[in-house]
Chains A and B, each alone.
Chain A
Amino acid sequence: MKKSQLYVLAALFIAAGLTAFFYKWKVLKFPVHPVEQSEVWELQARVEYQPRSGPNRVVLQVPIDPPGYSILDERFVARGYGMNTERRREQRSREVQWTIRRASGSQALYYRATVFRDGTPSPERDRPQLASPPELEEPFAGAAAALLETVRAQSVDSATFAARLIQEFNDANPGQEVALLLQDRRGDYDRVRFAIDLLAIRNIAARLVHGVRLDAATGQGGELRPWLQVYDTSAGVWHTIDPRSASIGWPEDLFLWSRHPGAVLEVEGSPRARFDIRVQKSMVDSLEAAVQRLEVRDRNLVAYSLLALPLHTQDVYRILLMVPIGAFIMLILRNLVGVKTFGTFMPVLIAISFKWTSLLAGIVLFVLIVGMGLLVRFYMERLKLLLVPRLTSVLIVVVLLMALVSVLSNKMGLEVGLSIALFPMIIMTMTIERVSVAWDERGGGFAMKMAAGSLVIASLAYLVMSWPPLEHLLFVYPELLLVLLGLTLLLGRYSGYRLTELMRFRALARPQQDG
């Protein structure tokens, strides 16, 4: 009918999308390619707790002067809370206090920092305060004395002394003294604090700091962990010791979160507080530069973009934004090529599930589970179950199969089997049902052909969807989806032949011989 109207609409969408893209690219200078070389990290601490009925106070230790890094930007997100940051000079630490008179429901507070790695870590030179040695009772005092004597004999200075002590702690077959001393001290934090106490007996100044490893290889970070620092009086520097490996020295990728010796998070009267740290090396890199430039000019442009969302949500959008791409590929393959698949968007859903397993493993797992599920389904056919109970039983079997695969692959040391947990089981169940119905109705060959078609399209969609430059492009320029929408509208009225139809009807194209 109004085909011209459709063209105008499509043109508008495409033009709007491209205009926004060019403006952001040329004028605002958002990067088109994901950049990797310089390291800008996004750290986000998230506090979640159940508030008391009265006033609540949350104290979180936050970074200050981290060696080797500089903080480009930080934000505190806590709606409705009073906020106060405070420096503790003697410990060179800083904390943020969030307070609220009345709160209900689960509370989430955020601290976000963008940090830039500016080279080799500078040694810390502040003077230590020696802790008073602990009062140990027998038999612990004797054990401690014996242990310290052994350690002393095998070390030359305070750093090697502390490292040797940690090694004793970590020994797989600990000596009698160590076993006795550590019997109630299991966690990293407890052990480091205890090591500090023992060192104090020897007049070695030591302290605990909290740090996060920023792994350059994966672009992600680990959790917040304690690190042991001992003071070398003669050189006047602090040595850092990894309480897990006992290695001495400041790891390049260690980000010092806080020097506060106590807990990083304190929530008054709420033992159920949860705390986690998310770290991401981001393309925010040059993007961050662009964003920071913009903030000076016009805050709203950034405030209303995906980049202002919390990292958890950003991760979700990284995937969500790629779904239309997969759907568009489906559209082309179905309407222009004419490939037959199970369900309209089933292959796209399968492709999304591949994101957690990688392609090859995903295909293997998919074939494995759908195959085994089919066997079960064929057996169910004999039991003559009704449709819904049958689907439910297949679903249960699928979940069990997934658990089995995970357990087996864990036993065999394969990592991929573990990520299967995120494989959407409903999709698997429906696939099994549809394959088996097609099998009954149209024969095994037909069912296999459709299943293979679905899997091929899923793989193709996955490959495109997980192409990093495209992912980056859509995340930074989500308006490009408007272009996709325009193209989809145009294709929406494509009334020409599909490629497979040319094959199917090619007999008609031959000149007719008979009448």
Chain B
Amino acid sequence: MFNPFAVARRLREVGLVGINGRNAEFVLRYNPRRFYPRVDDKLLTKELALAAGMPVPDLYAVVREEHEIAELHAKLADRSSFVVKPARGSGGDGILVIDGRRGERYRRANGSFMTRDEFDHHLSNGLSGLFSLGGQPDHLIVEYMVRFDPLFERVSFKGVPDVRIISFLGYPAMAMIRLPTRMSDGKANLHQGAIGVGIDIPTGLTCRGVWGTEPVREHPDTEHSIVGLQIPHWQELLMIAARAYELSGLGYVGVDIVLDRDRGPMILELNARPGLAIQIANGNGLRHRLEQVQALERHGKLSADPAERVAFAQARFATV
């Protein structure tokens, strides 16, 4: 029987952070409104990251006006693979991954082809704000298409897996890796059908996964185990997550990082209100970890050194 009161009590014990709790206690308190453009506009995020010497995918082009769409084809003439995304997009909507072409047609990562007209129409929709947060007119960025680390070949369908780390006041609090599936059409968004797999912060080993609402141990398309994988460059990833605090000015931020085969970890985007499914993927609630950091804050012991913060997180935030 589903008893809401018992479930609510149990979830409080586990330390689950709900949407209202996340918004009221963390997002509203720790994320000053004036810093939102830094994460809402991916172009700005990219510039800030570059200024801070942090790795991001190369920027090929920016489309701001309708007429620039036509010029884009010329600019991209000598590139066979690239990603187009709305600068203020949310939830992975409107992202177009092109990994090849046949004459006048572009091949999408999911294998389907797109005519030039369809491509142009998609871009023009993006410009008029179809995919952006408030329906505001937007600009599009065209950037390097990440070639993912061979480790993930067997646990990913098409698209590129990414690692999401929630960083609280610069302390990496919880992490997961998002694996695209056939159902998610190569996208790494959980609500679109990607798998979320929790990562143990101290070791960088994957522990358990969730697909939709059900726990999984194998990738549904490749049937390879998703448990016990060692995330490469783990220390580097944690450092990026820790430094994202200074970069964004946001206390509670979700950092999305991709692992490129050749170039290693790169910041994909930052998120001012990261989703809560990471808790299901880890089988752990966030609250207890966030409260440990809040305890440091109360005692004035927050560290300004990212390395120290990473060390603290690795000592405390094991996934159980």
Contact = CB atoms under 8 A, between A and B. Distances in A.
B61 interface: no
A272 B215 CA distance: 76
A507 B279 CA distance: 11
B240 to A, nearest CB: 27
B274 interface: no
B113 to A, nearest CB: 17
4 A-B pairs closest in CB distance? A387-B128, A509-B10, A495-B24, A384-B121
Given A384-B117, A387-B130, A512-B320, A507 B213 contact: yes
B19 A509 contact: no
Contacts, number: 87
Given A384-B121, A386-B128, A514-B208, A505 B16 contact: yes
Nearest to A438: B93
A372 interface: no
Interface in B178-200: 191-192
Interface of B: 2, 4, 6-8, 10-11, 14, 16, 18-21, 23-25, 29, 66, 93, 117-118, 120-121, 124-125, 128-131, 191-192, 207-208, 210, 213-215, 276, 279-280, 283, 285, 320
Contacts of A494: 20, 24
Contacts of B29: 1
B280 A505 contact: yes
A501 B280 contact: no
Contacts of A508: 10-11, 14, 16, 279-280, 283, 285
Contacts of A1: 29
A338 B21 CA distance: 13
Contacts of B131: 441
A497 B11 contact: yes
Nearest to A496: B20
B190 to A, nearest CB: 11
Interface in A490-515: 493-499, 501-509, 512, 514-515
11 contacts: A387-B125, A387-B130, A442-B192, A493-B24, A496-B18, A497-B21, A501-B16, A501-B276, A502-B8, A508-B14, A514-B208
B20 A335 contact: yes
B24 A509 contact: no
Given A494-B24, A515-B207, A515-B320, 19 more contacts: A1-B29, A338-B19, A384-B117, A384-B118, A384-B121, A387-B125, A387-B129, A493-B24, A494-B20, A495-B21, A495-B24, A497-B8, A498-B18, A501-B276, A502-B7, A508-B11, A508-B285, A509-B14, A514-B208
Contacts of B120: 384
A307 interface: no
Q: Which of B18, B21, B208, B213 gathers most chain A CB within 10 Å? A: B18
Interface residues of A, number: 29
Contacts of B214: 507
A489 interface: no
B213 A497 contact: no
A14 to B, nearest CB: 21
B120 to A, nearest CB: 8
A437 interface: yes
B124 A496 contact: no
A508 B7 CA distance: 9
Contacts of A503: 2
Interface in A324-349: 335, 338
B21 A512 contact: no
Contact of B19 (A493, A498, A515): A498
B20 A502 contact: no
A386 B25 CA distance: 40
A271 B41 CA distance: 62
A359 B320 CA distance: 52
B20 A495 contact: yes
B2 A506 contact: yes
A507 B25 CA distance: 24
Contacts of A442: 191-192
Contacts of B130: 387, 437
Nearest to B15: A508
A388 B125 CA distance: 10
A281 B67 CA distance: 63
A493 B28 CA distance: 11
A506 B66 CA distance: 47
Interface in A216-269: none
Q: Which of A386, A437, A501 gathers most chain B CB within 10 Å? A: A501
A335 B124 CA distance: 35
A364 to B, nearest CB: 29
A113 B250 CA distance: 64
Contact of A505 (B11, B23, B24, B129): B11
Contacts of B19: 338, 498, 501
Nearest to A336: B20
B213 A504 contact: yes
A506 B213 CA distance: 9
Contacts of A338: 19
Given A384-B117, A442-B192, A501 B4 contact: no
Q: Which of A384, A504, A508 gathers most chain B CB within 10 Å? A: A508
B280 to A, nearest CB: 6
B21 A509 contact: no
Given A502-B7, A514-B208, A507 B24 contact: no
Nearest to B124: A386
Nearest to A443: B192
Interface string A279-310: 00000000000000000000000000000000
A441 B18 contact: no
Contacts of B21: 495-497
Nearest to A514: B208
A280 B252 CA distance: 57
